[in-house]
Amino acid sequence: MGTDTAVGKTHQACLLARALRAEGRGVAAYKPVASGSAPPGQSDAELLWAASGSAEPLHRTCPQSFHAPLAPPLAAALEQRQVDEELLASGAVWWQQRCEFLIVEGAGGALSPISESSTVLDLACRLQLPVVLIAANRLGVVNHTLLSLQAILARGLPVLGVVLNDLPPASQDVSPDSNAGLLRSFAPASIPLVHSIEELWQPSGLDAH
């Protein structure tokens, strides 16, 4: 789950999928819905599908996609379609019955709408998924991360860690050097803060879930 769009969710999910595969674990990746276009082979779904080494058709990795770079329900409406609410969850359940470790990547941030009536966080609660929160190490990340954690923890989901993803710095942004320290001061001390999801992959971390 992310704090926003374009924070590195797909990159971190792919890192985890490849790490799991390298250890011989049965892994699958799932993106319930996607919107926006990308060059061939570079969509989130295609990257996740490749990283997980899936032998299933691409639509099993992402069963619903829409062209416009908008929230999925808005992108669907432009095509005179609707997001299939039940498929969001049933597509994940299909994988849960067939793999050892399922990575689910949301669209946008925790409270981003993914259908006409539900958010990314709603779906995570429905599926009872533990959360790894991905945040971009840039100006504003402290506020975005703390608000996201507050929303997730209020719904009772376990947070396995926060990944402060290092992106190419914007000009004049000096915050990346101090964001981690500030987050550690305000976020719950029990939640690990790392710079790569691979740092959470150990018997005491993600492997327990």
pLDDT value at 206 more than 70: no
Q: Two tokens at 114?
A: 């993914």
- The model's pLDDT over 87-115, given as tens digits with 9 standing for 90+, comes to 999 999 999 999 999 999 999 999 999 99
- The model's pLDDT over 1-43, given as tens digits with 9 standing for 90+, comes to 999 999 999 999 999 999 999 999 999 999 999 999 999 999 9
Domain ranges, ordered by start, for the chain: 9-208
- The Cα–Cα gap between 144 and 16 comes to 23
| Model pLDDT, residue 169 | 76
Q: Model-level pTM greater than 0.95? A: no
Distance (Å) of CA 132 to CA 32, 60, 196: 17, 22, 11
- The model's pLDDT over 113-171, given as tens digits with 9 standing for 90+, comes to 999 999 999 999 999 999 999 999 999 999 999 999 999 999 999 999 999 999 887 77
Task: Give a three-class secondary structure readout of the chain.
Answer: CECCCCCCHHHHHHHHHHHHHHCCCCEEEECCCEECCCCCCCCHHHHHHHHHCCCCCHHHHCCCEECCCCCHHHHHHHCCCCCCHHHHHHHHHHHHCCCCEEEECCCCECCCECCCCCEHHHHHHHHCCCEEEEEECCCCHHHHHHHHHHHHHHCCCCEEEEEEECCCCCCCCCHHHCHHHHHHHHCCCCCCEECCHHHHCCCCCHHHC
- The Cα–Cα gap between 141 and 155 comes to 21
- The Cα–Cα gap between 149 and 156 comes to 11
| Model pLDDT, residue 113 | 98
The residues annotated with a catalytic role in the active site are: 31
Question: Contact at 8 Å (CB) between 83 and 76?
Answer: yes
Which of these, 162, 169, 204, 209, lies nearest to 187 by C-alpha position? 162
Contacting residues for 185 by C-beta, under 8 A, at least 6 apart? none
Q: Which CATH class is domain 9-208?
A: alpha beta
pLDDT value at 209 more than 50: no
